[in-house]
Amino acid sequence: MLNNGFVVRMSEHFAERLRQISTDPNQQLDAAARLALGRGLTAKEQSMYSAYARQYGLENLCRVLFNTNEFLFVD
Amino acid sequence: MDRRSFLWNWGGGLGGIALASLLGRDALAQARSEFNGGLHHRAKAKRVVQLFMSGAASQCDTFDYKPKLIKLAGEKWDPGEKVELFQSNPGVVMPSPWEWKQYGQCGKWVSDLLPHTATCVDDIAFLLSLTAKSNVHGPATFQQNTGFILPGFPSAGSWISYALGSVNENLPVFVVLPDPRGMPPNGAGNWSAGFLPASHQATTIRVGTPNPIEDLRPPASARFITKSSERDGLVLLSKVNSQYNAERPGDSRLEARIASYEMAARLQLSAPEVLDVSSESDATRRLYGVDEAHTADMGQRCLVARRLLERGVRFVQVWSGADNGFPRRNWDSHENLAKDHGELGASLDKPVAGLLKDLKARGLLNDTIVYWTTEFGRMPCSQGSKGRDHNPFGFASWLAGGGIKGGVTYGATDDWSYKAVENPIYCYDVHATVLHLLGIDHTKLTFRHNGIDRRLTDVHGHVIPELVS
């Protein structure tokens, strides 16, 4: 899931989609969480994710989101 | 509130608690030092290497010598009953195209198809009365691997991983080295964890290819991925997943997922070393036939198998042969036995003998079980003029090392090599014996699934005492 070519490409596409939704990083992050996880982020999560996205970009953020158990497993 | 939290918390949180307990699994067992690494009793063996002949290797052309086939060659074959074949009508009596010789102190007859293996007979216990519940490759291959002819059950390697755990945290517990020509029937289903925690499925390593472990590294074309984005991304992922898992205790799939990322990170470092056979001596390379064209593939895979075993991998499964397609790339020699069995036999005979000798020389054979098997055998009569059809009624396997008594033969087929008549067994009995040597009671290694305490041996299997030294 981490290195598979399909997941990597989808991370790039998802990042592009987030940029279409907004140019504001906070709104991009909020959209990412709602689309991938079906919920808003807690303050703590917002802080962790936005720090990572600031440093490494949206594609990397999307790749992490796609690898979370919350995204992958249905309760 | 999202759907997930709603469902989880409805009813005062009892739904979540019930779910967690339903998902709860038996605590992972671990090898016990007071049992020499066994689980229920003292272990003689610590690891297994299985050599799987995909496509049905013929017993009457390898280890089951029958002079009657030579004496009555070419005559109509009549064993006195209706014979159930897979895709033909019984042909004539067809002796092996290979000659037979006796070897070792035990005097075991082995065909000229496997002369190198034959030099090891005094270390080998031959099982000549195997039977299978199906004469169809898929179900029979499932049975040899999982004990059941239907898909969805854990393989022997997965059960052993579940029972004993890991010795070396830098390598997977269960590794499969497939034939480079392709996957066997059932593909990865043969080494599935089934309903056991997912971490017990095998890791496939394609020895000799530029990218042996699939997706171990990010694609080079993804330029947004760097060493630091990887490092920090994995830390973030681990934090997020741990928090998520803490709210859902007992679901082994979640823990397995975290474990798989950690294993992948360790494998990035450990895999190149274990797969690099260039440091092996010339003598070792010659022993396995690594540098001869026809034995290079199996030689390299058997050598890598030894390296994995000595580094603590518990179960290595090496496949000889791919799928049952045509032109033939496995042991399913319906059309031309001499050619197709001939090529496969030549490709693995020296490497397999090399593996046995190398394990012995390194003091590893004492606690490593070597297990050669196939899904069923072949008929003593001809199919067409030069082939053999399927025979699930009597076929051969062998065991060596890890507490197995060498130079013995257990069970026998009739004079035709058609049906097992003396001590007929299923793979359940072989599995029970292998587990026993690993310090595991096959009746006590269970996993509750859908209301049944499942076992590798189902409700069958007896340890074969004649094989245990």
**Three-state SS at B383:** strand
Rounded to whole angstroms, how far apart are CA atoms B393 and B133?
9
Contact (Cβ atoms closer than 8 angstroms) between residue B157 and residue B317: yes
**SS3 for chain A, per residue?**
CCCCHHHHHHHHHHHHHHHHHCCCHHHHHHHHHHHHHCCCCCHHHHHHHHHHHHHHCHHHHHHHHHCCHHHHCCC
Burial environment of residue B223 by CB neighbours within 10 A (0 to 12, 13 to 18, 19 or more): exposed
Contact (Cβ atoms closer than 8 angstroms) between residue B289 and residue B354: yes
Q: Which residue of A has its CA nearest to B15?
A: A75
User: Which residues in B lie closer than 8 A to residue A11 (C-beta atoms)?
Assistant: 224
Rg (alpha carbons) of chain B, rounded to whole number: 24
Rounded to whole angstroms, how far apart are CA atoms B203 and B175?
5
pLDDT of A26-40, one tens digit each?
Answer: 999 999 999 999 999
Q: Which residue of B has its CA nearest to A37?
A: B2
What is the identity of the amino acid at B182? G
User: Is the Cβ pair B233, A49 closer than 8 Å?
Assistant: no
Give the residue among B167, B154, B36 at the shortest CA–CA distance from B440.
B36
The pair of structure tokens assigned to B297 is 């593939």
Distances B313 to B214, B258, B274, B316, B413 between C-alpha atoms, Å: 19, 20, 11, 7, 35
User: Which residues in A lie closer than 8 A to residue B253 (C-beta atoms)?
Assistant: 73
For chain A, residues with pLDDT lower than 70 are none
Closest-CA distance, B218 to chain A, in angstroms, reads 4
User: Is the Cβ pair B2, A59 closer than 8 Å?
Assistant: no
Rounded to whole angstroms, how far apart are CA atoms A46 and A41?
6
The pair of structure tokens assigned to B452 is 């049944």
Question: CA-CA-CA-CA torsion for A50, A56, A61, A67, nearest 10 degrees?
Answer: -130
Question: CA-CA-CA-CA torsion for B369, B373, B375, B380, nearest 10 degrees?
Answer: -150
Question: CA-CA-CA-CA torsion for B342, B343, B346, B349, nearest 10 degrees?
Answer: -90
- Check if A30 contacts B (Cβ < 8 Å): no
Beta bridge partners of B176: B204, B317
Q: Quick count: other Cβ atoms within 10 Å of Cβ B191?
A: 27
Beta bridge partners of B468: B404
Beta bridge partners of B175: B203, B316
Block residue for tokens 């195209």: B97
User: Is the Cβ pair B257, A69 closer than 8 Å?
Assistant: yes
Rounded to whole angstroms, how far apart are CA atoms B318 and B351?
11
- Check if B248 contacts A (Cβ < 8 Å): yes
Q: Determine the pLDDT at residue B2.
A: 56
Whole-model pTM?
Answer: 0.89
What is the identity of the amino acid at B433? T
Distances B245 to A36, A69, B357 between C-alpha atoms, Å: 18, 8, 47
End-to-end CA distance of chain A: 19
The pair of structure tokens assigned to B59 is 């017993």
The pair of structure tokens assigned to B438 is 């690993």
ipTM score of complex: 0.95
User: Is the Cβ pair B225, A49 closer than 8 Å?
Assistant: no
Rounded to whole angstroms, how far apart are CA atoms A35 and B63?
62
Contact (Cβ atoms closer than 8 angstroms) between residue B45 and residue B403: yes
User: Is the Cβ pair A56, B224 closer than 8 Å?
Assistant: yes
- Measured at the CA of B108, the angle between CA B107 and CA B113, to 5 degrees, comes to 130
- Residue B217 region by backbone torsions, left for phi larger than 0, else alpha for psi between -120 and 50, else beta: beta
Rounded to whole angstroms, how far apart are CA atoms B442 and B40?
10
User: Is the Cβ pair A38, B3 closer than 8 Å?
Assistant: yes
- Check if A2 contacts B (Cβ < 8 Å): yes
Rounded to whole angstroms, how far apart are CA atoms B122 and B409?
10
Considering Cα of A45, then A50, then A53, then A59, what sign does the dihedral take?
positive
User: Is the Cβ pair B4, A75 closer than 8 Å?
Assistant: yes
**Local confidence pLDDT in tens for the 469 residues of chain B:** 555 555 555 545 554 444 444 444 434 457 888 899 999 999 999 999 999 999 999 999 999 999 999 999 999 999 999 999 999 999 999 999 999 999 999 999 999 999 999 999 999 999 999 999 999 999 999 999 999 999 999 999 999 999 999 888 899 999 999 999 999 999 999 999 999 988 899 999 999 888 899 888 888 889 999 999 999 999 999 999 999 988 888 777 787 788 888 888 899 889 999 999 999 999 999 999 999 999 999 999 999 999 999 999 999 999 999 999 999 999 999 999 999 999 999 999 999 999 999 999 999 999 999 999 999 999 999 999 999 999 999 999 999 999 999 999 999 999 999 999 999 999 999 999 999 999 999 999 999 999 999 999 999 999 999 999 9
The counts of H helices and E strands in chain B are 12, 16
What is the identity of the amino acid at B260? S
Rounded to whole angstroms, how far apart are CA atoms B58 and B68?
16
Q: Quick count: other Cβ atoms within 10 Å of Cβ B105?
A: 9
- Check if B254 contacts A (Cβ < 8 Å): yes
End-to-end CA distance of chain B: 64
B274's CB contacts (< 8 A; 6+ apart) are: B171, B304, B307, B308, B311
Q: Quick count: other Cβ atoms within 10 Å of Cβ B160?
A: 26
User: Is the Cβ pair A64, B233 closer than 8 Å?
Assistant: yes
